[in-house]
Amino acid sequence: MTAQHYTAALALALFTIAPAAIGAGPDAARGRYLIAISGCNDCHTPGYAQQGERIPEAERLTGMSVGFSGPWGVSYPANLRLGASLLGEGDWMAMARRSGLPPMPWTALQAMSDDDLRSIYRYLRGLGAAGQPAPTALAPGQAINTPHFVFVPQMPGAK
């Protein structure tokens, strides 16, 4: 192949791939990809941060009863599958575009295009409802009755 052939082949390859990857409208496969690259499982799938891909996809995104405690109180990663199965697409979009407690990366969802967010919704709907709702968030000072990670910076050498 000459350099020209390579350029033509590359242009053809990009032309073929690009429409599927960018701006192709909402679809569940894209949602699956976005979830995989955005770290959502680390918090929303029990054990995923420790076991990663060994947790079957059918068991993922059911939320966590291990909370994150900090100055905001305690937050619990929601069961995303129940959430998506209970809400229509429009209501889910409004819910996902809101803001809430840390350490949920709300700004990441806000920065997503509508197509990206709708794709995530469709992927979650496809996975179907599973698991239990995560515990309700606690206000600062409320008694904590679940396991939780403490999100408070420690000074070096502090005991």
β-bridge partners, 48: none
In the complex, which residue's CB is closest to ligand HEC?
A: 100
Residues 6 or more apart in contact with residue 125 via CB below 8 angstroms: 28, 84, 85
Rank residues 8 and 94 by Cβ distance to ligand HEC and give the closer one.
Answer: 94
Told to check if 61 binds ligand HEC by CB under 6 A, we report no
Provide, rounded to whole angstroms, the least separation between the CB of residue 78 and ligand HEC: 4
Stretch that binds ligand HEC, among 6-14, 19-27, 39-47, 139-147 (CB under 6 A): 39-47
Told to check if 111 binds ligand HEC by CB under 6 A, we report no
Told to check if 80 binds ligand HEC by CB under 6 A, we report yes
Rank residues 14 and 105 by Cβ distance to ligand HEC and give the closer one.
Answer: 105
Provide, rounded to whole angstroms, the least separation between the CB of residue 16 and ligand HEC: 28
Q: Burial code of 109-121, b = ≥16 C-beta within 10 A, e = fewer?
A: beebeebbbbbbb
Contact residues: ligand HEC, CB under 6 A:
38-40, 42-44, 68, 75-78, 80, 83, 96, 100-101, 103-105, 108-109, 120, 137
